[in-house]
Amino acid sequence: MTPPVVVTIAATDSGGGAGIAADLATFAALGVHGACVVTAVTAQDTGGVHAIHPVPHEVVAAQLDAVLDDLDPVAVKTGMLATPEVVRLVAERCADRILVVDPVLVATSGAVLASDAVRQAYRDALLPVATVATPNEDELVALGRPVSTNLLVTRGGDIPTTNDHGTGCTHSSALAAYLAHGLDLPTAAARADAFVAGQLRLGKDWTLGRGRGPVAHVHAIPTQGAPA
């Protein structure tokens, strides 16, 4: 059976824990085909975000046109959109699809990832057309606690681990994948919560990097077929 297509519109994470890396891994784990539109390239690791290079607007638009026109994704998931122009582009082109908005405004490390103009574009253009938005508590405050769309405020769990880099990306990607499979929003949200909790437990004792390690995006650690 042909899998549903979900596209992530987000930034890269050179450390592989968040952003497009987390989104595509989660999509694969949950049985959807992942496409991607790169909005920015970041220099990022488990310690934080060190540099951000936004992709030119016309290149972002060309990527989005290519995916929408050819692969016709069922669902769209957004991450860091980098500029107000890209926020409005997504609102204009993706309002007729399942649209999961993860308003990436503040990194786990505390780094501010969005300007006032970007936050205003979210409030004015993107949130009103979103199927659901998944801000964390800091992002909800940064957005002015909007009431114009469905909100699932992510607060983290009670799993004792510091390997939680990319939790928000993983959660919103899982939510988009389950919605693409046809689940209703309450069921998809519950499944996404359970998926993230399971992956946090799986990687809770990993030692990757010197800071907050990444969420485990695979179902299980391979035990067979690995090189000796």
Task: Give the mean pLDDT of the chain.
Answer: 90
- Find the length of the chain: 228
Which of 27 and 106 is assigned the larger pLDDT? 27
Residue carrying the six token digits 């990527």: 63
Confidence of residue 156 (pLDDT cuts 50, 70, 90): low
Question: 132 pairs with which residues across the strands?
Answer: 100
Residue carrying the six token digits 């638009």: 61
What are the helix (H) ranges across the chain? 19-29, 57-71, 84-94, 116-121, 137-142, 167-180, 185-202
Which amino acid does the sequence have at 171?
H
Does 5-202 carry CATH code 3.40.50.261?
no
Q: What tens digit of pLDDT does each residue of 44-82 get?
A: 999 988 999 999 999 999 999 999 999 999 999 999 999
Helix (H, G, I), strand (E, B) or coil at 100: strand
Q: Which CA distances in Å does 194 have to 42, 153, 172, 177, 198?
A: 29, 15, 12, 13, 6
Cα 77 to Cα 18: distance, rounded to the nearest angstrom = 13
pTM of the model: 0.92
- DSSP secondary structure letter of residue 123: I
Calculate the CA 23 to chain-centre distance.
Answer: 6
Q: What tens digit of pLDDT does each residue of 102-152 get?
A: 998 876 666 677 888 999 999 999 999 999 999 988 888 889 888 767 888
Which of 154 and 179 is assigned the larger pLDDT? 179
Print burial letters for 37-49: b (CB count within 10 Å at least 16), e (below 16): bbbbbbebbbebb
